[in-house]
Structure 1
Amino acid sequence: MSVASRGVLFGVAAYVLWGLSALYWPLVEPTGPMEILALRVVWSPVAIGLLVLALGRARRVLEILRRPRDVALLTLASLLTSVNWALFIWATMNGHVVDASLGYFITPLVSVAFGVIVFRERLRPWQWAAIALAAVTVVVLTIEYGGPPWIALGLAVTFGSYGLIKKRLAVGSIEGLMVETAVLFPFALVWTVWLQASGQATFGHVSWANTLLGIGSGFVMMVPMLLFSAAATKIPLSVTGMLQYIEPIVQFLVGLLVFREPMPATRWLAFGLLWMALAVLTADGLRPRGRGRGARPPRARSARSSRTAASDVRGQEGTP
């Protein structure tokens, strides 16, 4: 098997496992979403720390800690990803896995919108068409739900904002993730201890299986992260960008086939419009760009297409 083929295989495995994580969190019940999030934050530095030590990157982590700006940005990124995870865990435990998948489908389009708003990037006509289709999707879902699809929008905006911050940082993916998980560790530990002291905790009080699943909340992202790290060095970003759609597709199928979440006709219509938008954005991103007349001037930064926008984020952090 060639190096590129192994890279694709590793990448597919990573995204499939990230998508299947929607099955994990309901298994931790009766532990609630906030306690699960706290347990994840408590155990994640342990999992990532073992990886950092195994790869011999402890010195790089210490170098990041000596740069206040990077620590501040990573702290903000950690808060955003914690909100994102809280929403995702709550959604998977309350029958909204399909809505969660919608959020991660929308994320590449949010990244493009941030490119226009923050970096003043110029969109090509087909990119504007994709954004318009996404806007219609939100309108259709708002009508169908009787209000905006807050779960999907919350996931997309928090993850898109997280990616925006990570693009401004020149730190390794694993080292940055180590700092991100470590900065919130004291707060999560205090919350966990308070739950135990007040008698409100379930961790360690339900069953040995529940306790092991709680501990596993910090380790469940380690295997796909390792697989993705192995893939990222073997395949180009364009391929990684194509693979990143596997995760929300798997989540969508889990919600539809495993949890049997309802999909009325209006929601199918909305998803169809969104998938059209992503297809347009991806096709536009794959078109070759000439340097002759009509080419963009060197200073003009066009918004990244969906084939790289989300992959850049994933390459930085390993998981939402």
Structure 2
Amino acid sequence: MIEDRRKTWLGTLYALLSFLIWGFLPLYWKWLGGVPAIETLAHRVFWAGAVLIVVVPVLQRRELRAAFRDPRALLAAMLAGILLGANWFVYIWAISVDRLVEASLGYYINPLVNVLLGVVFLRERLTRPQTVALALATAGVLVLTVSHGQFPWISIALGFSFGIYGLVKKIGRLNTLVSLLVELLLLAPVAGIYILIIGRAGEGAFAAGNVMITALLAGAGIVTVTPLLLFGAGARRIPLSRVGFLQYIAPTAMLLIGTVLYDEPFTPAHAVSFALIWAALAIFTVTIVRGQRRPREK
């Protein structure tokens, strides 16, 4: 009993730390605001790959060997890597142009996007509460579109790119860390070549005289991998329903950073849109909790 409590407590702590890091990570990318988003992305891919090359063989050598013997897994990892790169680019770019509120909305709707993708591609059936949740989320997006006269493409791009990324990873059936390493190994050569080209042309920010910028770019790998390790350790120890509650910490922190620290606009239309999506997420989360309790009651 004591061991189970300790396991749950540690799992909650690890997961909480991972979502807090993800939530406050925009501050890190803000410090790199003077660096083009594509260059920041290249360094994130390159240095995260470098960190994982050290970490993964130590933790999961057997799974890594198996991954490179599976053509289906490699193909899925290649596609997943492209989707992840696109997601990271939109995310970093959105932060650099003060669109953090819109980016946070993308990560709020991601769980609902996952449900929709499950229906479309995996032939999963929608429950009535899930149908209501998706309808509310759709209404939230429409409110922003109509009131601002502009489709919230950043939110949709982030929500769907990450959702499809998760779907592709299911097809590959690789361990999370192993999959990420394979994805980044496929992207890292391109990122490395790009960094070298702009460096030789005198256009790169890395090692260009600003020690702080150079350190932040090199540190992009550590700040990317650390929350992933914490999340993996936490998710193994706690129920999915608790992970579901904790995952909203990250977009909430992003929303607060955008509105409070950087004075991004939060109009009445934003308030209505977010309220609709929060209501959708509340319904969605309750269905998960109930779904987990039923087997225990039996």
State the TM-score, normalized to the length of structure 2: 0.93
Letter in 1 for 2:203: Q
Mapped to 2, the partners of 1:58 and 1:126 lie a distance apart of 42
Deviations 1:105-125 (A, max 9, x none): 011111111111112221111
Letter in 1 for 2:161: T
Letter in 2 for 1:149: P
Alignment pair present for 1:104 and 2:100? no
Alignment pair present for 1:26 and 2:8? no
Runs of 4+ in 1 over 2 A off after TM superposition: 57-60, 284-291
2:142 is matched with: 139
Instruction: Mark the runs of 5 or more structure 1 residues left unpaired by the alignment.
Output: 292-320
Alignment pair present for 1:248 and 2:251? yes
Mapped to 2, the partners of 1:181 and 1:24 lie a distance apart of 21
**57-66 or 38-47, which moves further after superposition?**
57-66
Letter in 2 for 1:32: P
1:204 is matched with: 207
Cα distance, 1:91 vs. partner? Answer: 0.8
Mapped to 1, the partners of 2:33 and 2:254 lie a distance apart of 19
Is the 8 Å Cα contact of residues 74 and 172 (structure 2) preserved in structure 1?
Answer: no
Deviations 1:235-259 (A, max 9, x none): 1222112211111111111111111
Letter in 2 for 1:120: R
Mapped to 1, the partners of 2:97 and 2:209 lie a distance apart of 20
Number of equivalences: 290
1:318 is matched with: none
The residue correspondences of 1:26-45 to structure 2 (distance < 5 A) are 26-45=30-49
Residues 59 and 126 of structure 1: CA distance in aligned 2, closer, same or farther (over 3 Å): closer
Q: 2:9 aligns with which of 5, 8, 26?
A: 5
Higher helix share: 2
Cα distance, 1:230 vs. partner? Answer: 1.9
Letter in 2 for 1:11: A
Alignment pair present for 1:155 and 2:169? no
1:231 match: secondary structure: helix
Alignment pair present for 1:213 and 2:216? yes
Is the 8 Å Cα contact of residues 141 and 270 (structure 1) preserved in structure 2?
Answer: yes
Is the 8 Å Cα contact of residues 29 and 210 (structure 1) preserved in structure 2?
Answer: no
Instruction: Mark the runs of 5 or more structure 2 residues left unpaired by the alignment.
Output: none
State the TM-score, normalized to the length of structure 1: 0.87
The residue correspondences of 1:48-59 to structure 2 (distance < 5 A) are 48-55=52-59, 57-59=60-62
1:78 match: secondary structure: helix
Alignment pair present for 1:90 and 2:93? yes
Mapped to 1, the partners of 2:237 and 2:146 lie a distance apart of 44
Deviations 1:260-316 (A, max 9, x none): 21101111111011101111111122225879xxxxxxxxxxxxxxxxxxxxxxxxx
Mapped to 2, the partners of 1:60 and 1:290 lie a distance apart of 34
Letter in 1 for 2:16: V
